[in-house]
Amino acid sequence: MRFAVIVLFALLAAPVHAAEAATSVPVAFENAGAKLDGTLHLPKSKPIAAAVLIHGSGRTERMTGLARMLADEGIATLTYDKRGVGRSGGSYEGADNVSARNLALLADDAAAAFAALARHESLAGVPAGYLGLSQAGWIAPMAAAKSPEARFMGLWSGPVATTSEELHFSALAEKNQGHGGDHDHGAMPSPAEITRFVASVPRRADDVDPRLSIAKLDIPALWLFGAEDTSIPVALSVRRLIDLISVGQTNLSYQILAHEEHNLVDRPTQPAFPAMVSWVKAVAAGR
């Protein structure tokens, strides 16, 4: 996952000049002894929804480009520099950024950002939630479980797999690509193949399973996946979501986007951005 998202985050951090939101408000908040620095992008008219935007992996600053795109669609968005990056304090964890300790810390950062968003005077009565990318698949469910006022959670390429499973999958995919492997991205593995894959994974001592947090949620949640994603195990993630839905979490949903890879929102022509916006608008309208 670490290498697949570098271009994505460079693009999302870049300014968008064609259609700027009417208002950009500096926002600072604190967590675990660090002051985190961000920007709230507000639509030109009253927001229909509001969201905290959670980073993927990597040394990532605030995602201004994506936040402005969301604001232009009526969604107020708080984006911030990851701890230890840009103007945010604290220490960036580069050696093991999927450790249970670091993911929990980043989830607490996101929950603190949500608290700052929820109390902003311009957003009174506006349904608020979380949107995130990639590694946010572990962080956002933990943060949402800590935020009683959260109304929704939407993820682009967020794994519903343990950290061990994702790391193992991405390493195998990278090895396969490096040796000229000809994997058929369109063919989803069978349940038996998924079972064998899960059994083959070497487990971390501090493995993080997002299902433990997802099980605590009773809010609408959407996962958007690229059918040709070689960074996260899409078939396994979908199987896990189907299992959760089958035992009563009917607010969960997912879509698999044909011909798309891991980076779902690095180009405005991709379908994942309007799909997420339409879903957020429907949730905010109570549909």
Q: Where does 6-284 sit in CATH, by number?
A: 3.40.50.1820
- Please determine, for residue 188, whether its predicted confidence score (pLDDT) is greater than 70: no
Distance CA(202)–CA(120), nearest Å, equals: 44
Q: Is 33 exposed, middle or buried (0-12, 13-18, 19+ CB in 10 A)?
A: exposed
pLDDT at position 193 over 90: no
pLDDT value of residue 20: 46
Contact between residue 232 and residue 137 where contact means Cβ atoms under 8 Å apart: yes
pLDDT band, very low/low/confident/very high, at 176 (cuts 50, 70, 90): low
Q: What is the pLDDT of residue 211?
A: 98
The residue that leads in pLDDT, 226 or 195, is 226
Q: To the nearest whole number, what is the mean pLDDT of the chain? A: 89
* Whole-number pLDDT of residue 14: 46
| Domains of the chain, residue spans | 6-284
- Tell me the angle at which helices 136-145 and 100-118 cross, rounded to the nearest 10 degrees: 60
Confidence of residue 187 (pLDDT cuts 50, 70, 90): low
Question: Which percentage of the chain shows pLDDT scores above 90?
Answer: 80
> pLDDT, tens digit, for every residue of 64-103?
999 999 999 999 999 999 999 999 999 999 899 999 999 9
Q: Give 227-264 pLDDT, tens digit per residue.
A: 999 999 999 999 999 999 999 999 999 999 999 999 99
89 burial class (0-12, 13-18, 19+ CB within 10 angstroms)? middle
Instruction: Average the pLDDT over 104-116 and give the result.
Output: 98
User: Is the pTM value of this prediction over 0.85?
Assistant: yes
Q: Is 174 helix (H, G, I), strand (E, B) or coil?
A: helix
Task: Summarize pLDDT for 112-135 with one digit per residue, the tens.
Answer: 999 999 999 999 999 999 999 999
